[in-house]
């Protein structure tokens, strides 16, 4: 677990709530999470079905790209790896695009989504995720800025190469690593080669 404060961040006592298109009202009975794109076995799961999968609980800080952080948030949900295995992601996949009920999208390199503490979160701090925080589920990848942890998640699309999401169209970073301060495209440390994207800063 990371215990240090990432560069450029400071801890806040309260969340700042953002919603690019406003918070949608979702019915848990009809909501579904689906996988698509480069997968061998597309799956569509209800919230109840997600609850039946092995659950992971961890405590990790949340970091917003606008420099505030929330310390020691308790996250509970399904390992991203678990869902990737269930849907049998093809070897050609290099990115996952998170699609949301409000039309928001966020791309993440598959290698980042597949880290051990990456979740599809069903709970925050022991309670269902509040509507304003993305009810009923949102991905959470601790080492990436919060805009990548898309609220009101509905689809996981596995892609062979990079595509802009909502904020990336406005110049935000392709990956968004907190520890390397990847806030905007062109920022970050040394360049390495990512499959499907070419040379990006990491």
CATH number of the structural domain spanning residue 76: 3.90.420.10
Q: What share of the chain is helix, strand, coil (3-state, %, to 5)?
A: 15, 35, 50
d(CA 200, CA 64): 21
pLDDT at 199 over 50: no
Which residue has 């990491």 as its token pair? 202
Q: Does 41 fall in a domain?
A: yes
Please report whether residue 201 resides in a domain: no
Give the tens place of pLDDT for each residue, 110-164: 999 999 999 999 999 999 999 989 999 999 999 999 999 999 999 999 999 999 9
Of 14-23, 24-33, 77-86, 89-98, the poorest mean pLDDT is in 14-23
Residue 7: inside a domain: no
Domain membership flag for residue 67: yes
Domain membership of residue 4 (yes or no) is no
Strands, E assignment, 44-174: 44-45, 56-63, 68-79, 95-100, 105-109, 119-124, 127-128, 138-140, 153-159
Host H or E run for residue 183: none
Find the range with the poorest average confidence among 55-69, 134-148, 160-174, 177-191. Answer: 177-191
Question: Tokens at residue 62, please?
Answer: 């949340």
Q: Which domain holds residue 94?
A: 28-195
Question: How many domains does the chain fold into?
Answer: 1
> Contacts from 8-15 at CB under 8 Å and sequence distance 24+?
8/67, 8/181, 9/63, 9/67, 9/68, 9/69, 9/178, 10/67, 10/68, 10/69, 11/61, 11/68, 11/69, 11/70, 11/71, 12/68, 12/69, 12/70, 15/70, 15/133
Based on DSSP, count helices (H) and strands (E) in the chain, helices before strands: 3, 13
C-alpha to C-alpha distance for 162 and 50, rounded to whole angstroms: 27
The reply to whether 5 falls in a domain is no
Whether residue 170 lies inside any domain: the answer is yes
**46 lies in a domain?**
yes
């Amino acid at each position: 677990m990371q215990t240090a404060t990432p560069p450029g961040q400071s801890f806040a006592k309260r969340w700042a709530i953002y919603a690019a298109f406003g918070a949608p009202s979702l019915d848990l009975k009809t909501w579904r999470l689906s996988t698509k794109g480069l997968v061998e076995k597309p799956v569509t799961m209800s919230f109840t079905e997600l609850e039946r999968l092995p659950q992971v609980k961890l405590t990790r800080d949340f970091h917003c790209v606008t420099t505030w952080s929330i310390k020691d948030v308790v996250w509970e949900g399904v390992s991203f790896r678990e869902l990737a295995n269930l849907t049998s992601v093809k070897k050609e996949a290099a990115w996952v695009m998170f699609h949301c009920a409000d039309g928001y999208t966020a791309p993440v390199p598959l290698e980042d989504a597949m880290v051990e503490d990456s979740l599809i979160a069903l709970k925050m701090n022991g309670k269902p995720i509040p509507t304003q925080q993305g009810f009923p589920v949102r991905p959470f990848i601790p080492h990436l800025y919060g805009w990548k942890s898309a609220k009101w998640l509905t689809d996981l699309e596995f892609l062979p190469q990079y595509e802009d999401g909502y904020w990336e169209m406005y110049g935000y970073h392709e990956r968004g690593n907190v520890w390397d301060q990847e806030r905007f495209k062109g920022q970050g440390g040394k360049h390495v080669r990512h499959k499907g994207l070419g040379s990006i800063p990491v």
